[in-house]
Every structure is written in structure tokens, then in C-alpha cells.
């Protein structure tokens, strides 16, 4: 295969696998189709044929640059495991985590959990709550509760603050990037970021559940800036400028890019210096 054919086949594998996984699970794992047109037909491949196409591309990766080939190989390993699952093979959880996410599937050691409990208890006591997590946490949540008009107002304030800090401290954001924040009712997620082409984004935060102020700040930064919305807009900007190869636009869940993206989102508030109050620290722990 020439380079273009290798990449095009890789994209077609992703498109075909997206359909196959969706038919099996009801959820499409390829999350970037609304933002990018790949201008390739979606092949009508069954699991066996998808597996064969993966092997063909893996055999031709040495025709690409080492960094590009390494990226594709990591994704293809995850794709190959999806094919095995699609064919009915039972894959141990630890093996799935190790292949999909490339992180060890190890339980958090008990001493780490105890250390976090002790840290949380100390923070709550410092904030004048009882020295008993079973009593202190419900009291903290009640005092931190925000809802109704104040929830919407606070959420938009955090969104604006996070955007300004991300633009100033992390990366210049595209000026045309528009993000709408809403709090829908009967929504199946706590929070979700939806990004479509031309720098249009929407952040949904559940309007039915109880929110704490510190938790609201955390999830706004996770879903918007410097989290999912910023990541998506900067990626589109880089692609349009010719700085990102087409395979870099794929955001396929349960592949090694997932912990990188989600890790950035989870640490976004810390990166921006917005873990400021003792309540922020309590929520963080």
C-alpha cells in the first residue's frame, strides 16, 4: 500500500467498526463524525473482514513515519480487540483495559484509599464539619447545594472564567468558537459535551440532579475549557491549518487516546488554578 491508501484504509476500518460496534452495543464509539467529513465510503464489512483489514494495515505501517506508525498501531490494537469481542470472545477485564487504554488494570491499593479518606476527613474538620465522613459529607453537600436560577447563573460564570483562563494560560482559542450551556431535564448524563464542525459546541449539565457549587465548577471545566470543548476546537483548528494528519481527528472511545483526553478534562480545573477554596479541595479529594 502507498501512504494514502494505508491511511484511507485505517479510516474505513474506523467507520466500519463504528457501525459494527453500534449494532452490537447500541452506542456509536466514533465521536468525531459530526465534526469531520472523511469523504470515504463506509464499507459493508463483517467482523472477520474488519479483522483482516486491520492485519493488512498493521503489515504496512513501516511505510509511515515512526511516530505516525506508532500512533496507528496503538489504535489498531484496540480495534483488533473490539473485533474479538464482536466475534463473541470473552476478554478478561484487565486485558481489555490494558489494550484499550494502555494503563494497568490494577485496583487502587487500600493504603491509598485510607490516605484519601484521612485527607478528606481533615479537610472537612478544617471547614467546621464533624470528624465523621458519614455525617460530614451529607452536611457539606447540603451547604454546597445550588439549583434553579442560581445554578444557571453560576454555571455560566464558571464557563466564562474557564474560557478566559484557558485562552490566556493554555492555548489561544479560536475566536469563532461558540459554546452554549444548558441544563436539560430528563437527561441521561450528569454532563456531556457535544461538538460539531465550524467551532460550534454545546455543553449539557443535568437539570434534575443535586449540584454542589464546587462540583459544578469542576464539571464545567471538564466539559468545556480546558476540557472537551477546548480540545475539540483546537484539534479542528490544527487540522484546518494542515498541522494535524487526518487520523488525528478520530476520537474513538475505548482507544488509547481516551485516558489522555479524559485526563486533561479531569485535571482542567487544577491546570487553570481554579482549585481555590477549601470546598474545591474537598470536592477534588
For 90, which DSSP code? -
Q: If you average pLDDT over residues 2-24, what whole number do you get? A: 96
Q: If you average pLDDT over residues 219-247, what whole number do you get? A: 97
Quickly state the pLDDT bin for 102 (edges 50, 70, 90).
very high
Q: pLDDT tens digit string along 50-98?
A: 999 999 999 999 999 999 999 999 999 999 999 999 999 999 999 999 9
The whole-number pLDDT of residue 264 equals 94
Would the pLDDT of 218 be above 80?
Answer: yes
The whole-number pLDDT of residue 2 equals 72
Whole-angstrom distance, CA of residue 82 vs CA of residue 197: 28
Q: Tally the residues of the chain.
A: 285
Would the pLDDT of 31 be above 80?
Answer: yes
Whole-angstrom distance, CA of residue 103 vs CA of residue 206: 30
Q: If you average pLDDT over residues 15-24, what whole number do you get? A: 98
Q: How many CB atoms lie within 10 A of CB 73?
A: 14
Mean pLDDT score of the chain: 96
Quickly state the pLDDT bin for 133 (edges 50, 70, 90).
very high
Return left, alpha or beta for 46; rule: phi > 0 is left, psi -120 to 50 is alpha, else beta: beta
The whole-number pLDDT of residue 268 equals 95
Q: If you average pLDDT over residues 100-116, what whole number do you get? A: 94
The contacts of residue 131 (CB under 8 Å, 6+ apart) are 121, 124, 125
- Bridge partners (DSSP) of residue 194 are 202
The whole-number pLDDT of residue 1 equals 60
The whole-number pLDDT of residue 255 equals 97
Whole-angstrom distance, CA of residue 46 vs CA of residue 87: 10
Whole-angstrom distance, CA of residue 30 vs CA of residue 18: 6
Q: How many CB atoms lie within 10 A of CB 278?
A: 13
Q: If you average pLDDT over residues 207-230, what whole number do you get? A: 97
3-state secondary structure of 212: strand
Q: If you average pLDDT over residues 117-138, what whole number do you get? A: 98
Q: If you average pLDDT over residues 240-262, what whole number do you get? A: 95
For helices 47-59 and 3-25, angle between their N-to-C axes, nearest 10 degrees: 150
Whole-angstrom distance, CA of residue 163 vs CA of residue 176: 13
Q: Helices in the chain by DSSP H: which ranges? A: 3-25, 47-59, 66-86, 93-100, 110-126, 133-144, 148-169, 213-223, 228-240, 257-271, 278-284
The whole-number pLDDT of residue 260 equals 92
Whole-angstrom distance, CA of residue 245 vs CA of residue 233: 15
Amino acid at each position: 500500500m502507498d501512504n494514502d491508501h494505508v491511511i484511507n484504509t485505517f479510516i474505513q476500518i474506523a467507520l466500519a467498526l463504528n457501525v459494527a460496534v453500534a449494532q452490537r452495543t447500541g452506542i456509536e464509539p466514533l465521536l468525531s463524525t459530526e465534526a469531520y467529513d472523511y469523504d470515504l465510503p463506509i464499507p459493508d464489512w463483517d467482523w472477520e473482514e474488519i479483522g483482516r483489514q486491520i492485519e493488512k494495515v498493521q503489515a504496512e505501517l513501516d511505510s509511515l513515519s515512526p511516530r505516525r506508525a506508532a500512533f496507528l498501531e496503538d489504535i489498531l490494537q484496540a480495534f483488533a480487540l473490539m473485533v474479538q469481542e464482536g466475534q463473541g470472545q470473552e476478554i478478561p477485564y484487565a486485558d481489555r483495559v490494558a489494550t484499550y487504554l494502555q494503563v494497568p488494570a490494577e485496583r487502587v491499593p487500600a493504603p491509598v484509599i485510607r490516605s484519601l479518606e484521612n485527607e478528606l476527613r481533615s479537610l472537612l474538620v478544617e471547614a467546621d464539619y464533624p470528624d465523621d465522613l458519614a455525617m460530614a459529607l451529607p452536611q457539606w453537600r447540603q451547604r454546597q447545594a445550588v439549583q434553579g436560577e442560581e445554578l444557571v447563573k453560576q454555571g455560566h460564570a464558571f464557563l466564562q472564567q474557564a474560557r478566559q483562563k484557558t485562552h490566556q494560560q493554555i492555548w489561544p482559542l479560536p475566536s469563532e468558537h461558540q459554546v452554549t450551556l444548558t441544563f436539560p431535564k430528563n437527561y441521561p448524563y450528569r454532563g456531556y459535551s457535544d461538538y460539531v464542525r465550524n467551532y460550534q459546541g454545546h455543553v449539557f449539565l443535568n437539570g434534575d440532579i443535586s449540584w454542589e457549587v464546587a462540583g459544578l465548577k469542576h464539571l464545567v471545566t471538564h466539559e468545556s475549557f480546558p476540557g472537551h470543548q477546548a480540545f475539540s476546537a483546537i484539534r479542528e483548528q490544527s487540522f484546518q491549518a494542515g498541522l494535524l494528519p487526518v487520523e488525528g481527528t478520530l476520537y474513538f472511545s475505548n482507544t488509547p487516546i481516551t485516558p489522555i483526553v479524559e485526563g486533561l478534562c479531569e485535571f482542567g480545573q487544577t491546570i487553570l488554578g481554579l482549585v481555590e477554596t477549601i470546598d474545591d479541595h474537598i470536592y477534588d479529594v
